[in-house]
Homo-oligomer: A and B are copies of this chain.
Amino acid sequence: MAPKWTQKPIKNILLDINGVLYESGEEHAIEGSVDAMKRLVEHGFEFCLVTNECTTPKRLLTEKLNAFGFDMITSDRIVSPAPTACEYIIQRGLRPRLHVWNDILEDFQPALDRLRESGAGEQPANCLVIGDVMSQLSRDFVDESLEIMLKCPEKPQIISLGAGRYYKDAGRLRLDTGAFAKAFAYALDIDEITCLGKPSAEFFGQALNVLSAKTTSNQKPPTYENTIMIGDDVVSDVGGAQAMGMRGFLVRTGKYKPSDETDRGVIPDDVFDNLYEATDKIISQVSHVV
């Protein structure tokens, strides 16, 4: 019997990068994932990569993926938190303090340029952008961000480049962006944090915009209904996608743990050993549903 997820059309695939296309810290693609991407494209699926990566700028991330053999991936198919936040800042005319890793600053350059050109760069910052600051974390760095925000005459806004609790990097568990955002929100007495990473609706909306830009007028428009998300994080990828009305597939690579299938309060629409198996099933089912 065909699985339940085949009952709706499949036009678009959203994919997480880290733990799905390659493993963190390894300098090659996960076996089969380059072939999987090639076959998706050959079979006419549109795709977009949706990552919470906020220490590598989009330009370098694209170069890395290309070097791993993903030559179908161009920078305009990647949705990551820093460029999304940059766009958000520009649209709302905000003045950011960037509490982020230095390497990612280039993703904010358009917002910084706009600020300088408008002359508003002299005014106190009214939004704090919080990313993973890695080894830059020090008392002075933290307190400088606090002092800058306390000078804001109105209540400042907090933009968090993700809502993660902790992550694994080179074998170490590390406090993630979501936790630092909570610390600043408490200090600044701010109830609401704007999260511009998975699983926020704003962020998945950005991915749909990317897919729309790739759709020609004689094609069905992209909707959450005709889109599948594939990721290794059952809560953020799968649960986040499902909350938007997408189907969510879990892969047993990356940060996947067996208990993710039962203990995290999310029931994936399907679970596969890896990306190749997931896309193989999608391709084999597509004739039944389109």
A contact set with B: CB distance below 8 Å: 133-135, 137-139, 142-143, 146-147, 150, 165-166, 172-176, 178-180, 182-189
How many Å lie between the Cα of A143 and that of B173 in the bound state? 7
- How many subunits of this chain does the assembly comprise? 2
The reply to whether B135 and A139 contact each other, CB–CB distance below 8 Å, is yes
- Tell me whether A143 and B172 are in contact (CB under 8 A): yes
Contacting residues, chain B, for A142 (C-beta < 8 A)? 137, 175
Inside 8 A of A178's CB, which chain B residues have their CB? 186-187
| CA A172 to CA B141, docked complex, whole Å | 12
CB distance B146 to A174 under 8 Å?
A: yes
How far apart sit A233 and B146, CA to CA, in the bound complex (Å)?
Answer: 20
Q: Which of A143, A178, A184, A187: most chain B CB closer than 10 A? A: A187
Q: What's the Cα separation between A176 and B189 when bound, in Å?
A: 13
Q: Is the interface of A mostly helix, strand, loop or mixed?
A: helix
Q: Are A187 and B176 in contact (CB under 8 A)?
A: yes
Interface contact A187-B183, CB-CB below 8 Å: no
Check A143 against B179 for contact (C-beta < 8 Å): no
**A237 to B133 alpha-carbon distance, docked (Å):** 35
Interface centre among A173, A186, A189 (most CB of B within 10 A): A186
Min Cβ gap A141→B in Å is: 9
Among residues of B, the one whose C-beta sits closest to the C-beta of A146 is B175
Residues B165 and A186 in contact, CB atoms below 8 Å apart? yes
CA gap between A173 and B178 in the complex, in Å: 22
* B134 near A137: Cβ-Cβ < 8 Å: no
- Find out whether the CB atom of B186 lies under 8 angstroms from the CB atom of A182: yes
Bound-state CA distance A184–B137 (Å) is 15
How far in angstroms is the closest Cβ of chain B from A178? 6
Residue among A138, A146, A189 with the highest chain B CB neighbour number at 10 A: A146
Asked whether B179 lies within 8 Å of A184 as measured between CB atoms, the reply is yes
New A-B pairs, 10, CB < 8 Å, besides A143-B172, A147-B172? A139-B174, A146-B173, A147-B173, A166-B187, A175-B183, A175-B187, A178-B186, A179-B186, A180-B183, A182-B182
Write the nearest CB–CB distance from A156 to chain B, whole angstroms.
14
Give the Cβ gap from A180 to chain B, nearest Cβ, in Å: 6
Residue of B with least CB distance to A163? B186
Listed A/B pairs (30) with beta-carbon separation below 8 Å: A133-B139, A134-B139, A135-B139, A137-B137, A137-B142, A138-B138, A142-B175, A143-B173, A143-B174, A143-B175, A146-B166, A146-B174, A146-B175, A147-B172, A147-B173, A150-B173, A165-B186, A165-B189, A175-B183, A175-B184, A178-B186, A178-B187, A179-B183, A179-B184, A179-B186, A179-B187, A180-B183, A182-B182, A182-B183, A183-B183
Q: Which residue of B lies closest to A151 (CB)?
A: B173
